[in-house]
Structure 1
Amino acid sequence: MNKKELVDEVSKYTGMTKKDVAEIIDALTRTIEKTVGNGEAVSLTGFGTFLSYERAERMGRNPRTGKTMKIKAKKVPKFRAGKGLKVNL
């Protein structure tokens, strides 16, 4: 399901206009991005938790040359499914 299909489904379910639903979804994703980017977690009970994860520095291999190289540590987003989502899958 892509964003347009999600907007259509939520619009049908709630009776709201597609424009209003799209604005809400955009606001939700921007808020989650901003919060997780600041290192805080966003928890939606029954659905899951969005959080920031620190990936450690590690050694990797350049696929073109086969040469070993160091990959720097960085923060990456992570999603942990909640109990309600796991049960419904």
Structure 2
Amino acid sequence: MTKADIVNEIAKNTGVDKASVLATVESFMEVVKDSLANNENVYLRGFGSFIVKKRAEKTARNISKNTTIIIPAHNIPAFKPAKTFVAQVKDNTTK
């Protein structure tokens, strides 16, 4: 499902015009991105959490040049689904 599909589905279910729904969805994604960029997690009860995970520094190998490189510690975004969300997805796979 693409962003356009999500906008169409929300517009159909709520009766709100697509332009307003698209602006709302875009705004939501910007808020989540800005929050994660500022090391603030986003918690959506019943859906899940957008969290910032810290990756430790590690040593890697460049096979083509046969050299060792250091990958510095960095943050990555992650999504952790809520238990009810996971349960609903699991139930749908058995049907």
Counterparts of 2:42 and 2:9 in 1: how far apart (Å)?
24
SS in structure 2 at match of 1:40? coil
Tell me the equivalent position of 2:2.
2
Tell me the equivalent position of 2:57.
57
RMSD: 1.2
Identity %, equivalent residues: 31
Tell me the equivalent position of 1:45.
45
> Structure 2: which 5+ residue stretches go unaligned?
90-95
Q: Return the letter of the residue paired with 2:52.
A: S
Residues 63, 14 of structure 1: alpha-carbon distance in 2 compared, 3 angstrom cutoff: farther
Post-superposition offset of 1:67: 2.7
Q: Return the letter of the residue paired with 2:20.
A: D
SS in structure 1 at match of 2:52? strand
Cα distance per residue 1:5-34 (max 9 Å; x no partner): 111111111111111100000000000111
Counterparts of 2:82 and 2:66 in 1: how far apart (Å)?
40
Question: In terms of Rg, which structure is larger?
Answer: 2
Q: Return the letter of the residue paired with 1:41.
A: N
TM-score, normalisation: structure 2 = 0.86
Cα distance per residue 1:23-47 (max 9 Å; x no partner): 0000000001111111111100010
> Structure 1: which 5+ residue stretches go unaligned?
none
SS in structure 2 at match of 1:4? helix
TM-score, normalisation: structure 1 = 0.92
